[in-house]
Structure 1
Amino acid sequence: MRGNLLFLLLSSLFALSGKAQSRFSIIVKDSTTSEILPGANAKFPPAYPLVGTADIQGKIFLPKVLEGRYEVTISCIGYQEKKYNVEIPIDTLLTALLQPDQRLLEEITVAATRTNARIEDAPMKAEVLGLEEMDEENGIKPGNITSLLGDISGIQIQQSSAVSGNANVRIQGLGGEYTQILRDGLPLYEGFSGGFGILQVPPIDLKQIEIIKGSASTLYGGGAIGGIINLVSKEPSEKPEGLITLNQSSLTERNFNGYCSVKKNKRGASIFSGVTYQNAFDVNKDGFSDVPKIQNLIIHPRLLFYLDTKTTLAIGFSSTYETRRGGDMEALKNNRDSLHTFYQEDKTDRNTGDIVFTHTSSSRNLFTVKGSGSFFDRNLLTNKYRFYATQVNGYGEVSYLIPRAKNDLVMGVNVWTTSLEKNGKDSALMKDYTYQTIGTFIQTTYKPGEKLFLEAGLRTDYHSRYGLFVLPRLAGLYKFNEKWYSRAGIAMGYVTPNPFAEQNTEYHLNKIAPIPDSVKEERSLSSNLEVNYKKRIGKETFLYLNHAFFYTQINKPVIAATDSTGVTSFHNGKNYINSMGWDTYLRMSIEEWEIYFGYTYTMARQEYNAIQPYVTYTPRNRAAILASYEIKSKWRFGMEGSYTGFQYREDGTKTPDYIFVAAMIEKKFKHASIVLNGENLLDARQRNFLIPPVNNPAFQTLWGPIDGKVINLSLVLRF
């Protein structure tokens, strides 16, 4: 009996060893960006437990696989698993395309940290709104990204003009002048050229939005005391993509946006083009427009050259042409008389070219050269004055990233120049200026083990007017276990005085005085501490919780003051601004449900003002909840509610609190979707802000929405 068993066993082993074997090879890529995915895994079924891991080229190679038919599971951190039926032998190189898993958002790679680290491995806290959010927002608010940013805890979108509709982004209680907006890591929206910046960026043209709250000056120089927002452009994928969006709102806004991309062999191309038309609208019936007339055209083509598997060259150009007209409704209709005279017409032309070259060496070192040139014209015409000026910005950067198992090192040098030149003969007080900044930066991330990540960075900038700045930064990340981890950091920052920096309200541009030599730069010290918890329950439930404390102190802030003649001048405060508080958000995925809750408490004080010591128009309490339910490939339903607490005015009085409610429903088809969306369904708004006389009005600072309830219907076509 034993002999028979031994014979059968030996026979089986002999048959198995005699079975033919062949090689198996597959390359794994991101289905959206076509980026290779090093570290991806290929897993064969349990009956034949074979596992392979992708190299730095994204290729998985197994030299000896028994012939037969297998169901192979391809997986990668931050991506959805995908199963392939494979017949061995096979002579061709297979390609696996994985979709990003938005429920694992904290594992997405972030370019803004400069190390291309996953969020969960980066000592610097970063948040990402991914491609799924961009697609959803394209159907809800296709014109721009302001509503999308405003949903994030710790971020406040404040409208600064009732006439033009201009708005700025405030982070953690600090004014818009302390937020730096980047496009693909390039500083395109700053000072005078920052006007209307976020109002001219549609979501359909973006791959993701990266947000760093707190000082990022060590990485990106002056202007990033409050934080940075990096807008990352879409790139062509292996599969051609085409999108057309048509939108109509109850406030007569009409959007027509189109995007298409293609990639073939060693070349790729994409182009976005969008048109927005909006009639002037008087919501509160006071005779003045609450929504300006807008005519907007945007064109953004990009070319990508994949010179080899390790080298890429991207060239882009963007043009934005926009006209905004607001004021007295009779004047806008050309029914002007001695009483109805007030109007404001803003014409802006923004033309930007950019280039990015990257090369990855065989040892995974990344060499990057990037640069941009931007020309921004603004022609402001009112019934009282004209202001016409051009700002020219140039930026160039060279960086080198050395990623290693125990230590990442990135270093670089950048040159930035900006100049403002007035055009025409007008009465403006502002003088022409030109500034240059040369900076160097170095950052190292030490990884002694799988739990501890330590990071230190140093930047030195030399500004042609304000001199030398040395900005150190320290940060750390510790993973207690697979569910709990914590971050802490401290950094210094600076902002140079800028007469056109974003403010709570818009000043008369012709009466802005030049910055005197006595006004110095603002310097800051920021710190943060946070705790994170994440847990996956089965395959359909995911929970992520973040609780963060923040503190920022800005010494000798630059303060604007307007005298009785309307002239706005600037001086340094004798004391400081500090903003402190905490920011909590919870994200859950429960089967087809997506739930988000965020709450921010902010105590922001302007210690230089003994009479009114609180930073104006910063809510002490702000909370938001969003929920969506999807019937896959058929329907999607969404609800949003937010609470904004009181804000202090200049005179120390408090604004009312208010609740904002929105809802949407989307019907999905094979190549199209229809979205019905309602914003501000409770019609919460600031109703009275006009200061007479009618023929020479002024406007109160805005603390809430003024456009009221808005319904819009959009059609999205995919091909």
Structure 2
Amino acid sequence: MKILFKFICFLFLGIASIYGQTNSIAGKITSNGQVIPFVNVYLQNTSLGTATNENGFFELKNIPNGKYILILSSVGFNSQKMIISFSGGEKLIKNFILDENSALEEIVISGTLRPVIKSNSPVPVEVYRETFFKKNPTPSIFESLQNINGIRPQLNCNVCNTGDIHINGLEGPYTFVLIDGMPIVSGLSTVYGLTGIPQSLIERVEIVKGPASTLYGSEAVGGIINIITKKPSNTPILSTDVMTSSWGEVNTDIGLRYKASEKVQGLLGINYFNFQNRIDNNNDNFTDLTLQNRISIFNKINIKRKNNKVFNIATRYMYEDRWGGEMEWQRQFRGTDQIYGESIYTNRWETFGTYELPTFEDISFQFSANGHYQDSFYGKDAYDATQLIGFGQFVYNKKIAKKHDFLLGVAYRYTFYDDSTFATLDENGTANKPAISHLPGIFLQDEIALNNQNKLLLGTRWDYNSLHGNIFSPRINYKWNSKDNSDIFRISIGNGFRVANVFTEDHAALTGAREVEFDGELQPETSWNANINYVKKITTENFYVTLDASAFYTYFENRILPDYETDTNKIIYANLNGFSVSKGLSLNTDIIFTNGLTINAGATLMDVSITENSIKTRQILTESFSGVWSISYKFTNNFSMDYTGNVYGPMRLPLLGENDPRAANSPWFSIQNIQFTKKFTKSWEVYGGIKNILNFTPPANSINGADNPFDIGIDTQQNPELAFDPSYMFASNQGIRAFLGIRYTLF
């Protein structure tokens, strides 16, 4: 009996010791950088389980020793399984990232002009969300695009720092910028319109590389950038973001959601940027960064209607006062030849919206209008301009026989442009004659689902330009995907066209001492583009990888390029008597690790050339190689780090003849930034870091003739290399600087 009692006690103590060595596992679950609450976390075939809290945290306690299958599941996300084992008293801390379920995958609209799941779109669309741009916060969306592969914000003037966006080596006028799918930024606003958009209201940015004229018409040659703003219903009550830098820049973003009535919800946004610090680190007596005072006000209203029909309208107003020039410049020198300065006053308004007709069929009316007023002096030369653009289109979407998604659109665009240059003089060159153009058009598109894995998109567009006549723009796209969507292959062939307006698009035509000359009447440019795209998704227990590779080829006819070299005293604009080619390869990769580390990287290798009279030359201000990266790590205490950067290969630069002392090509250069972010509560967040940590700036002699900007006493015909010229520009003069910001969000 005693032996039996001792055996039972020994058995009991043994079991207690085994189960007494309990274990635990804890961590955080996120998706696309956002925490996921209420995720089910449990051990398969046991009763042990829990759910994440509102901050995405979970903890499983009292786990006996052994080997288990940990399962994570939540509606809208792909479930995740992982084998874990415990041998005694272990406390594991592990973070997880869930992928969105394909049934609820990201919706895009830019490729086909209608909502479609991104992986199902026959047109490759890149999507960049708010979290991406927060990794390197900037005062404007123009600067924020610098970390996207194949896209380069190009500054066109050393003095006033205005710029445009290059896509795959093509200049800014070939990039079509939209807000909520409506053409807002074009002409004058290609240069100035990308600043002042309140970033607190931007939900995502969709990018399509290659011609999109079939859907969007003129200017959509190199690609489109579609800025999608937030819906009032999905926006915090209040969001604020204030940032300052050691250079003295101050940027403030405010977003406010309000409810005007039971049926009317609104979203108000304000952006204010101020920089008034005269800095001349390269000692050329010119400001390294233009002094700016800018305010932008944005208001968007959603009106609730029967049957959930859409009706929204948005407006934006922007005022900017910017100047750059000699350090001694004051307002009283504006427009004089005493002290050189470039002073630009800009007033701009925009409105756009969508109204779904109260019909059984899917018919919507989309509209936009904008006015741009510019009062500026470039030295003693005045440039006053007014541009008004009105746009409207009816779009009819019809599903036919389950396999056809048919789209029919009728569009009209009106453009009024007047300025103080000879571009708007009459045939005799004596009286002012504003340029007015009408552009009616019609487009057809049919998206054909051949089967579950093959899709074909056919589209064509006809426009009639009142100045240039008929223009046709066809396109064809094909997409194949594997059964699990882990492999996607796309082929695109399309046509683009563009009607150029030099003074609104090319800042070099306004600044400096070069004379502008037109060689014949400029005809519309046309281009043909072919693009091959392959996407591969790889999922393992510890990381998730997306590879996105593309090859592109664009052939231009009638291309309009500024000629700096035939006569170094002039900028000659003419249709190219030959052809131009832009071709290359690009690769993007996203790697998301379950431990909180994410890596986004990309590289583009390209060759952009001009062939005229059988002579091939490389295009000015176009790099042959570019790379971007973003490396982020989230620590367990709401602390994160972001390391972002880009690298560019040499570009051919515009010189003032053989005796120009400046280098013919830019060097290899890289702009790198690091940021640290601490989230204290759900509402408060502080961030800070260093921009341009390598302190790269262009050569100090980038502005030629900086000591004599009015060319006093110089015969520029005989000695062109002595002329004042600020067009030698490939990167910002801003060097290393610290920045600090604070965000407050009220939900």
Q: Same fold (TM over 0.5)?
A: yes
Q: Displacement of 1:422 after TM fit? A: 3.4
Q: Residues 437 and 462 of structure 1 are in contact (CA less than 8 Å); yes or no, is this contact kept in structure 2?
A: yes
- Secondary structure of the 1:331 match is coil
Q: What SS is found at the alignment partner of 1:112? A: coil
Paired with 1:104 and 1:327, the residues of 2 have a C-alpha distance of 53
Report the equivalent of 1:254: 250
Gaps of 5+ in 2: 1-30, 33-39, 46-70, 82-96, 656-662, 711-723
Aligned to 1:479: 481
SS in 2 for 1:410: strand
**Structure 1 gap ranges (5+):** 1-30, 33-41, 48-70, 82-98
Q: Deviations over 1:194-223 (max 9, x none)?
A: 221222324212111110000111110111
Residue 191 of structure 1 and its aligned partner are, at CA, apart by: 1.4
Alignment match, 1:109: 107
Matched to 1:718, the amino acid is: T
Q: Which is worse superposed, 405-414 or 494-503?
A: 494-503
SS in 2 for 1:148: helix
User: Is residue 672 of structure 2 the alignment partner of residue 661 of structure 1?
Assistant: yes
SS across alignment from 1:330: coil
Given residue 605 of structure 2, which amino acid in structure 1 is its aligned partner? Y
Which residue identity is paired with 2:676?
I
Which of 619, 624, 637 is the aligned partner of 1:620?
Answer: 624
Work out which of the residue numbers 385, 390, 397 in structure 2 matches 1:394.
Answer: 390
| Residue 406 (structure 1) aligned with residue 403 (structure 2) | yes
- 2:121, 2:297 → 1: CA distance? 35
1:469-491, Cα deviation, whole Å (9 max, x unpaired): 11110000101342212100100
- Secondary structure of the residue aligned to 2:233 is coil
Superposed, which structure 2 residues align to 1:522-537 within 5 Å? Answer: 522-537=525-540
Shift of 1:421: 2.3
In 1, the alpha carbon distance for the partners of 2:103 and 2:728 equals: 37
Distance of 1:702 and 1:437 partners within structure 2: 35
- Structure 1 residue aligned with 2:691, among 642, 658, 679? 679
**Equivalent in the alignment of 1:132:** 131
- Number of positions where the alignment pairs a residue of Structure 1 with one of Structure 2: 635
| Whole-angstrom distance in 1 between the partners of 2:613 and 2:79 | 51
1:179 and 1:606 map into 2 onto residues whose CA distance is: 19
Report if the CA contact (8 A) 1:142-1:202 is conserved: no
Task: Supply the distance in 2 between the matched residues of 1:583 and 1:239 (Cα, whole angstroms).
Answer: 35
Alignment equivalent of 2:328, drawn from 327, 330, 348: 330
Partner of 2:76: 76
Q: Distance in 2 between matches of 1:106 and 1:632?
A: 28
Tell me the C-alpha RMSD between the 2 structures: 3.6
Retained in 2: the 8 A contact 1:512–1:568? yes
Q: What is the DSSP-based 3-state SS (H/G/I as helix, E as strand, rest coil) of the residue aligned with 1:245?
A: strand
Give distance in 1, aligned partners of 2:198 and 2:77.
Answer: 29
CA pair 162-202 structure 1, distance change in 2 beyond 3 A: farther
Match of 1:277 in 2: 274
**Which residue does 1:173 correspond to in 2?**
169
Instruction: Flag the 1:716–1:142 CA change in 2: closer, same or farther, 3 A.
Output: farther
Name the CA distance, whole Å, in 1 between partners of 2:365 and 2:233: 23
Q: What is residue 92 of structure 1 aligned with on the other side?
A: none
After superposition, the Cα gap between the structure-2 partners of 1:426 and 1:486, relative to the gap in structure 1 and judged at 3 Å, is closer
Distance verdict in 2 for CA 1:317–1:193, change over 3 Å: same
- CA contact 2:378–2:511 (8 Å) conserved in 1: no
Q: Which residue of 2 aligns with 1:37?
A: none
Secondary structure of the equivalent of 1:283? coil
User: Which residue of structure 1 aligns with residue 55 of structure 2?
Assistant: none
Instruction: Output one character per residue of 1:242-301: Cα deviation in whole Å (capped at 9) or x when no partner.
Output: 111111112211112210114574321100012111124223122101101100011111
1:547 corresponds to: 549
Note the C-alpha offset of 1:513.
6.3
**Is contact 1:102–1:130 with CA below 8 Å preserved after alignment?**
no
1:103-157 deviation per Cα after TM superposition (whole angstroms, max 9, x unaligned): 98994111112131111111111101123325x25xx434101333121111111
1:606 corresponds to which of 590, 606, 610: 610
* CA contact 2:313–2:352 (8 Å) conserved in 1: yes
Residue 678 of structure 1 and its aligned partner are, at CA, apart by 1.5
Q: Write the distance in 1 (CA, Å) between the matches of 2:665 and 2:511.
A: 26
Q: Which residue of 726, 732, 743 corresponds with 1:705?
A: 732
The answer as to whether partners of 1:247 and 1:714 remain within 8 angstroms in 2 is yes
SS in 1 for 2:372: strand
Deviations 1:578-613 (A, max 9, x none): 010101011011021110110100011111276661
Distance 1:291 1:106 in 2: 45
Deviations 1:359-392 (A, max 9, x none): 6977xx6322111221100000244122212101
Give the structure 2 partner of residue 578 of structure 1.
581
Q: Please tell me whether Structure 1 or Structure 2 has the larger radius of gyration of its CA atoms.
A: 2
Q: How does 1:226-625 map to 2 (within 5 A)?
A: 226-237=222-233, 240-262=236-258, 265-279=262-276, 280-332=278-330, 341-358=339-356, 366-403=362-399, 405-422=402-419, 431-482=433-484, 483-503=486-506, 505=508, 507-508=510-511, 518-538=521-541, 541-561=543-563, 568-591=571-594, 592-608=596-612, 613-625=617-629
- What is the CA-CA distance between 1:699 and the residue it aligns to? 1.5
Mapping of residues 148-227 of structure 1, within 5 Å? 148-227=144-223
Per the TM alignment, residue 503 of structure 1 is displaced from its structure 2 partner at its CA by 3.7
- After superposition, the Cα gap between the structure-2 partners of 1:105 and 1:340, relative to the gap in structure 1 and judged at 3 Å, is farther
SS at match of 2:618: coil
**What does residue 27 of structure 1 align with?**
none
Q: Distance in 2 between matches of 1:380 and 1:427?
A: 17
- 2:396, 2:408 within 8 Å by CA — same for their partners in 1? yes
Q: 2:589 is aligned with what amino acid?
A: L
Stretch moving more, 527-536 or 309-318: 309-318
Tell me the CA shift for residue 567 of structure 1: 6.2
Partner of 1:654, secondary structure, is coil
3-state SS of paired residue (1:691): coil
State TM-score, norm by structure 2.
0.78
> Cα–Cα, structure 1 residues 577 and 361, in superposed 2: closer, same or farther, change >3 Å?
same
Which residue number in structure 2 is paired with residue 648 of structure 1?
A: 652
**Alpha-carbon distance in structure 2 between the residues aligned to 1:426 and 1:456:** 39
Query: Which residue of 2 is the match for residue 694 of structure 1?
Result: 708
Mapped contact 1:356–1:369 kept (Cα < 8 A): yes
| Residue type at the aligned position of 1:698 | D
Preserved CA contact (<8 Å) 2:198 2:254:
no
Distance 1:149 1:682, change over 3 A: same
Partner deviation per Cα, 1:489-526 (whole Å, 9 max, x = no partner): 10011111212353484534999869787321111100
